Each structure stands twice: as C-alpha cells, then as structure tokens.
Amino acid sequence: MLPPIAFSAPSKKQISALPRRKLGALEVSAIGLGCMNVAWGFGPPIEKGDAIKLIRHAYDRGVTYFDSAEVYGPFLSEELVGEALAVVRNKVVMASKFGFDIGPTGEIRGLNSRPEHIRKVVEASLKRLKTDRIDLLYQHRVDPKVPIEDVAGTVKDLIQEGKVLHFGLSEAGGATIRRAHKEQTVSAIQNEYSIWTRDTEDEAIPVCEELGIGLVAWGPLGKGYLTGTIPSSATFVKTDLRSTMPRFTHEAMDANRPVVHLIERVAQRKGVKNSQIALAWLTARKPWIVPIPGTTRINHLDENIDAANVQLSEADMQEIETGFAKLTIQGARSSEAVLALIDAGARLGTSSKGTHGRSPLRKEEK
C-alpha cells in the first residue's frame, strides 16, 4: 500500500494564474492534463506514486480538466485519475471515453459503440474513477456500425440519469458532429490539433464555432516532437505508439526539423520554451480551444501550465503561419490502421460534406 500523498496548499495566485475557458457550457482550465501518458501509449506506465503525485500537482497548479479513457492502459489511467482526485472530486472535471471493444486480457479487438456496451463501460468507468458521474463523456472513435443518433441518445439517457453531465466526440468530422448535436448537445470535440497537424481546421473548427462547441486539442505538442527535444536519431520501443507512426521515422523527423526551428525562433525571442509557443499558438487560435498536453514529468507539467500566460501577438501568429505555409510535413500523423478509425472529415484528405459521415444512418432514414 502506498502512503497517502498530501495535496500541497497552492496560493490563490497559483490557482488564479491559470485562466478558464468554456467547452460549450462546461468551464475548465485553459490548459488541461492528458492522462494517457502516465499509463499507456508512449511507453510503459510510470510508478503509481509518481503518477498520482503528477496529477495532484496539476490540480495544485490550477488545472481542473483531467482527460482519461478506458482504453488507456487499458483501465489504468482511469484508476490513477480516480485515486489522485478523489479528495477534490467536486472541484475538477473528469473526462473519459468509450468506444473500443476491449477483451478479457486487455486486447483491443476493434470498435464498439452499441448502446448496451456504452452503459457497461460507463458503469465500469465510474467505479475506476471513484465517482458517481463523468463530467464529460466522449465517443472515442466513430463506430461505422452504429448510427450516431443511437450513441448520442444513449448518452442523453445517461445524462438524464445523472451518470454523465456532458457529451463529446473524438476525431469526428462535420457531418457526424451535426447529427450527434441534433440528438444530444455536444459540449466538446476532441481531435488531434497542433502546429504541424491541421486536419481539424477543414471541418471540425468551423462546425464547432457555428454550434458553440468547444475543441479539446490532443497531441498539442506533436507527441513531443514540437518541443525540439527529440533528435532525428531517436528510436522508440514497441510499447511506444510513435514506433508505428510514419512521422517518427528517422528520415521524417530529419525532414521535419524546419517546423521545430520555426517554433524555436519565436520561443527564443520571447524567452520561453518551444512547448509553450506550441500551446500558446493553440489557445490564441480560438477562445474555446483547450489543449491537453500529457507528460510524466512535473517540470514539463509546470512548463505546459505556464504556457497559459504566454501571449502571442498578431505578428507572432503571422510569422508562424507564413513559415508553416512554406513547409511540407513528411509522414502521416499515425499508422494507417489508426487513421482508418478516424471519421470522414477529421482526417486530412477526406471530407464529410454532402454525406452522413462514417456513422451509418438509421434504417428508417436510409
């Protein structure tokens, strides 16, 4: 058994230093914490005590949005978030996700957003998160076998039962967002978005602005590459998802170095870190965009949180946009198998305009 880890007593200055933003009607800190890395994704999980300490430190620094999912681990991320935040449950926003079919030994067998499966997942997530409600529940990936209206309708029922407070979609395109929003108000979309990954700009951002939906940006630091701390010679172990990503081959990382130099020039002029410019760029794009960088180190966490106070001028933003327009990013952002799970309109080179998106229509609507 681990000894209890006490919360520090942050000053009012610490808490108030982190601005707030709205995801629909849900208010959260301007920078959230992605809680995948502590459990899964970019290598083996970190020690339980270290993970809990990191999550609690984020709260002490004013972070109120903590993002998890059943598939992270699987299950471990939710357990860590639940234990770390139990004593401050009413002061934070817990977000989680459903949508994968996870086998008895933790193997991911595909997608599953059938209504009965959603209910089963939510009950299990509530237990792991040590709570009676999930503040923001996302469909992790659009299921091509289940009409989005059935998904949204199930979450609507869970909201009426008090087990869920807000509904979200992850890696969804414009058509799916509109269909879901008609059935149940969508508070937030969680899509990958960063200086070098712009897929979400074609459909998701315009639809979010039109409908009053927030955007939670995952991968805001380009899975670490935009920080400038990953050399082109870096190799990744098999448990690190980047080992499967074309953008993280030695050749692609070397070819993409100019995007790091672009960020670096602005960072050096302002006396801040590359990571802080990458995050400040996102928060400057729209007042309803909330990046959720993940990390396993408290010093990196502090740097990410401090990015909320980095201000980019119009000239800074124009410099980044003009410079980026001259670049050609080498390599896809994820493996082909992972990209195949992304909704039409949320993946570069695809569109949902004039279609019903990847989610099937109900039989009576065909």
CA distance 20 to 25: 12
Active site residue 72: yes
Hey, CA dihedral for 121, 124, 128, 131, is it positive or negative?
A: positive
DSSP notation for 1-48: -PPP-PPP---HHHHHTS-EEEETTEEEESS-EE-STTTSSBSSPPPH
Label residue 60 left, alpha or beta by phi (over 0 means left) and psi (-120 to 50 means alpha).
Answer: alpha
Helix (H) or strand (E) holding 191: strand 186-192
User: Measured between alpha carbons, how far is residue 67 from residues 41, 220, 232, 293, 319 in Å?
Assistant: 14, 14, 29, 10, 31
CA 216 to chain centre: 6
- Catalytic residue of the set 72, 138, 193, 225: 72
* Residue positions annotated with a catalytic role: 72
